[in-house]
Amino acid sequence: MKDHVCLGAVMGAYGVRGEARVKSFCADPSAIGDYGPLRDEEGRTYRLTVLRPLKGGYAVRLSGVGSKEEADALRGRRLWAPRSALPPAGDDEWYHSDLIGLAVLDTGGAEIGTVAAVLDHGAGDLLEVRGPGLKGGVLIPFTQAAVPTVDIAAGRLVVDPPRGTLPGDEDALEDGADGGAGEG
């Protein structure tokens, strides 16, 4: 769904009349219903009406969903909007879908892997990078310091991750070069 952007996810039913609890991934979380019909991974389309804020999300009405059981059956479904319905990203802003698949290079120009996912656990975005030599991938904070260059047009980004993040960085930590307190 490269031409779509994930705006939220259904967390289950809310109440008994078919309302659902939705977590919004929008910069303005309450705007999740402002981008026209949303679709799920199966291609089903919903008009979403935000009813009220809830802890960790919003109570919403999804068109075509009329019962608690139908809303519960949607638990875990992601809701996507066409990229064309969204405003352009600002300077030094990117949609997560723009970053996924980009080549990841170190500051010396060596390829490390590709961006497999962008994760948000509340304290800031993390890039999941996968590639040869990266067992299970690595997580790199998506900050200006750790990712100084994002070049969407060239299909790459440059990373300068915290020491110890990439394989081979462990030696620097083991010899005491991390600046931590020594024994004694």
CATH for 150: 2.30.30.240
CA atoms within 13 A on the CB side of 115: 29
Pairing of strands 156-159, 103-106: parallel
Phi and psi torsions of 28, nearest 5°: -105, 95
Dump pLDDT digits (tens) for 39-57: 999 999 999 999 999 998 9
Dump pLDDT digits (tens) for 163-174: 888 887 665 444
CATH for 60: 2.40.30.60
72 shares its domain with 29? yes
Report if residue 22 sits inside a domain: yes
Q: What is the pTM of this model?
A: 0.69
The residue among 53, 85, 117 that closes a domain is 85
The residue among 19, 51, 85 that closes a domain is 85
